[in-house]
């Protein structure tokens, strides 16, 4: 055993053959848009369910000159994002950033950044539950056959029942979509807000589920059709009149915060602001400079 306090790990933590296996499966995932490709999924020093799928993808693709951004809930400073970034930074030494436009690889949980991503960027999504059919068919062997045969009838029935019972397509996140006209895919726990941002995008989207041991991909310029009915269309969370309390944006995904003013006058209240914090910060800064600028 090494006597130094810090052990030397492989660049990108996992061994080269494990990386190679992930790489092979990523290429297959791209060639089969929306299809879940099994991969061996090594154990990482991060718990299963905490982003190990996304991490393995990032570890397999990352190069020393990449610039990395890691977010959780859209937030760079969320504890889990900090933790994953720390592991990747310590085992690769790459530059990290909070600026979406400066990153070459963005690893994320639950959000797609608000700023449109470019063709030279890759978004790596951490996936907890891989299979949209899990709602109707928990058995993997049978669900795999259903995907193979495009046998999606039961899922349509499930969606229809949710409309009848709840008056809405009840699935809030992990909304099922059809990719490139063939495979039904789970959109990870991104909100509906982000679902259509996968459609015909410029960037490549890679999805990794470590515990479920699956990788899937949405290449750029690939069609994404959410499951919906003629008389019941897919809707995002957007509510008319919504506004970010910090930056004033009217077209972003908002999350609620409980706020107590410094004088504790009102005992606190809820307010909504952008979940993409770095984007929100940028806008706050721009607002401040425009206000200060002479007329």
Q: Which of residues 206-245 bind Zn ion (CB under 5 A)?
A: 244
Residue closest to 130 by CA, chosen among 147, 112, 117 = 147
**Per-residue contact track with other proteins, 97 to 126, x per CB under 8 A?**
------------xxx-------x--x----
Q: Is 49 a catalytic residue?
A: no
214 and 130 Cβ atoms separated by less than 8 Å: yes
Q: Rounded to the nearest whole angstrom, what is the least distance from the CB of residue 74 to Zn ion in the complex? A: 10
Q: Of residues 31, 102, 157, 288, which one binds other proteins by CB under 8 A?
A: 31
* C-alpha–C-alpha distance, residues 195 and 284, integer Å: 26
Q: Is 247 a catalytic residue?
A: yes
Q: Rounded to the nearest whole angstrom, what is the least distance from the CB of residue 289 to other proteins in the complex? A: 23
Q: Which of residues 203-232 bind other proteins (CB under 8 A)?
A: 204, 211, 213-214, 217, 219-223
Q: Rounded to the nearest whole angstrom, what is the least distance from the CB of residue 290 to Zn ion in the complex? A: 15
Q: How many residues bind other proteins (CB under 8 A)?
A: 119
CA angle 79, 84, 88 (to 5 degrees): 145
* C-alpha–C-alpha distance, residues 99 and 20, integer Å: 29
Residue 256: both structure tokens together: 């609620």
Q: Of residues 93, 263, 293, 294, which one binds other proteins by CB under 8 A?
A: 93
Q: Of 3 and 291, which has the nearer Cβ to Zn ion?
A: 291
37 and 117 Cβ atoms separated by less than 8 Å: no
49 binds, among Zn ion, other proteins, none (CB under 5 to 8 A by kind): other proteins
Distance from the Cα of residue 190 to its chain's centroid = 6
* C-alpha–C-alpha distance, residues 26 and 19, integer Å: 10
Q: Of 77 and 115, which has the nearer Cβ to other proteins?
A: 77
Residue closest to 41 by CA, chosen among 31, 51, 28 = 51
Task: Choose, from 54, 208, 210, 244, the residue flagged as catalytic.
Answer: 244
Q: Rounded to the nearest whole angstrom, what is the least distance from the CB of residue 117 to Zn ion in the complex? A: 19
Q: Of residues 175, 195, 274, 277, which one binds Zn ion by CB under 5 A?
A: 274
Contact status: 247 vs Zn ion (CB under 5 A): yes
Q: Is 280 a catalytic residue?
A: yes
* C-alpha–C-alpha distance, residues 177 and 175, integer Å: 7
Task: Choose, from 34, 54, 74, 208, the residue flagged as catalytic.
Answer: 34
Helical spans, DSSP H, in 46-116: 52-61, 79-92
Cα Rg of the chain, angstroms = 21
204 binds, among Zn ion, other proteins, none (CB under 5 to 8 A by kind): other proteins
List, by residue number, the catalytic residues. Answer: 34, 244, 247, 274, 280
């Amino acid at each position: 055993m090494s006597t130094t306090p810090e052990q030397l790990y492989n660049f990108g933590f996992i061994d080269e053959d494990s990386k190679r296996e992930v790489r092979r499966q990523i290429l297959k995932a791209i060639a089969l848009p929306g299809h879940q490709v099994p991969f061996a999924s090594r154990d990482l020093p991060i718990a299963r369910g905490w982003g190990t799928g996304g991490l393995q993808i990032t570890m397999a693709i990352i190069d020393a000159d990449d610039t990395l951004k890691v977010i959780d809930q859209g937030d760079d400073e969320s504890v889990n994002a900090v933790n994953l970034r720390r592991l990747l930074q310590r085992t690769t030494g790459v530059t990290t950033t909070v600026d979406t436009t400066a990153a070459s690889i963005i690893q994320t949980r639950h959000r797609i950044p608000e700023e449109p991503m470019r063709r030279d960027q890759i978004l790596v999504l951490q996936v907890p539950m891989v299979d949209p059919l899990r709602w109707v068919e928990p058995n993997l062997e049978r669900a795999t056959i259903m995907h193979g045969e495009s046998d999606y009838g039961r899922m349509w029935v499930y969606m229809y029942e949710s409309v009848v019972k709840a008056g809405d397509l009840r699935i809030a996140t992990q909304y099922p979509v059809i990719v490139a006209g063939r495979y039904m895919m789970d959109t990870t726990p991104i909100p509906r807000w982000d679902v259509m941002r996968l459609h015909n995008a410029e960037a490549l989207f890679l999805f990794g589920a470590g515990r479920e041991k699956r990788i899937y991909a949405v290449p750029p310029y690939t069609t994404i059709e959410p499951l919906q009915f003629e008389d019941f269309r897919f809707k995002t969370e957007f509510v008319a009149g919504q506004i970010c309390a910090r930056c004033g944006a009217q077209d972003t995904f908002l999350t609620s915060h409980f706020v107590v003013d410094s004088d504790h006058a009102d005992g606190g209240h809820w307010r909504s602001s952008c979940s993409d914090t770095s984007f929100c910060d940028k806008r706050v800064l721009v607002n401040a400079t425009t206000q200060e600028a002479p007329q």
